[in-house]
Copies of this chain bind each other. A is one copy, B any other.
Amino acid sequence: MFFASDNWAGAHPAINERLLRESTRFAAAYGTSELDRSIEQRFNEIFEREVAVFFVATGTAANSLALASIERPGGVVFAHSEAHVIEDECGAPDFFSGMRMIPVEGAEGKINPLNLKARMARYPQDAVHHGRAAAITLTQATEVGSIYSLDEIQVIADIAKGESLPLHMDGARFANALVGLDATPAEMTWKRGVDILSFGGTKNGCWCAEAIVFFDPDMARELPFIRKRTAQLFSKSRFIAAQFEAYLKDGLWLELAAHANAMADRMRQGLSASNSARMAWPTQSNEVFAIIPKGSAKAAGEKGAKFYDWLQPRDMQEAVSEDETLVRLVTSFATTPDDVDAFLDAIA
């Protein structure tokens, strides 16, 4: 009953098998091996255009270096107030990009376009004292389990383009969103105006596979230097490449994400059918937020269930009573139906 986070899971056998095979070979270091290059080609295919791809060690690094690559002095970056870059990265995006993150409110973890416009209006391009708009970043799937529709992405992208700003997508749970929308990688990104993507594999079956994808390779000119100077260039880079090869082969990544989402569906259905528990807000990916009696939470914990209490968002509609608690439940490629059922039993 591990629902604390999808990064509590291990690695998928197919990933391991590929790593094992890689371990017996010699190959060029620092991202110059044939395998490294073949994966770059694989990303081209998946995104249906020539992209520039850079492996890094963590999702925080992917976000931070992506923003560093579009750094402008005195620039500010707009992100949802609950975005990982604001809440969970210890200021790394600010540190690497030299820019301030500006929180934008919005229901269900999504940037509200009107709020975004209102915030951006304070940061025109000549605002030497106040600071100027430099980028927008959105998270897909969001930190609270929702998914931007393709049209919702387009709306944000249009605002970005209207001000000639680049749009970054934090795709730590990219596959979960993709499966949730039943869209293609191209449709969910550059076809809707995304310029740079943090492409995460770690939460979905790899143990360390994060990449920055530039849909316009010209924008990536400085990235090789930025990455090396920030100590993110792996010497045995091909082991990241190997993970991505297995991950992207024969649609494994989509399969794993579909499984995680299905397990979340099972959880959502179980909670909805429950007498005592209910969902805090609708979610579409592999994260479920539930309001459960404190007693149930305690009981489940005693039976070994792992999950986190969650701070109530300001705009939450559903009331949480004194003897209830808001919890986050995250499923992954490794979650089994039995796990979900056991949890539902435990809180019943």
Taking beta carbons and an 8 Å cutoff, which residues of A are in contact with B?
2, 4-5, 7-13, 15-16, 19-20, 22-30, 56-61, 64-65, 68, 72-76, 87-92, 94-96, 98-101, 128-132, 202-203, 207-208, 222, 224-226, 228-236, 239, 306, 334
With A90-B129, A228-B92 as known contacts, state yes or no: A233 contacts B8, CB within 8 Å: no
Chain B residue at minimum C-beta to C-beta distance from A203: B235
Q: Can you name 8 A-B residue pairings with CB atoms under 8 Å?
A: A8-B28, A13-B23, A16-B23, A57-B234, A91-B98, A91-B131, A92-B229, A95-B230
State whether B74 touches A228 (Cβ < 8 A): yes
Q: Interface centre among A10, A76, A88, A226, by most B CB within 10 Å?
A: A10
A12 contacts across to B, CB distance below 8 A: 23
Bound-state Cα–Cα, A16 to B334, Å:
20
Q: Knowing A231-B58, A232-B58, A236-B202 are in contact, say whether A225-B128 is a contact too (CB < 8 A).
A: yes
**Is A231's CB under 8 angstroms from B26's CB?**
no
User: If A94-B94, A99-B91, A239-B208 touch, does A61 touch B130 (CB 8 Å cutoff)?
Assistant: no
Check if A202 sits within 8 Å of B10, measured CB to CB: no
> Once the chains bind, are B235 and A88 in contact (CB under 8 Å)?
no
Q: Which residue of B lies closest to A101 (CB)?
A: B100
From B16, B74, B230, B239, A225 is in contact (CB under 8 Å) with B74
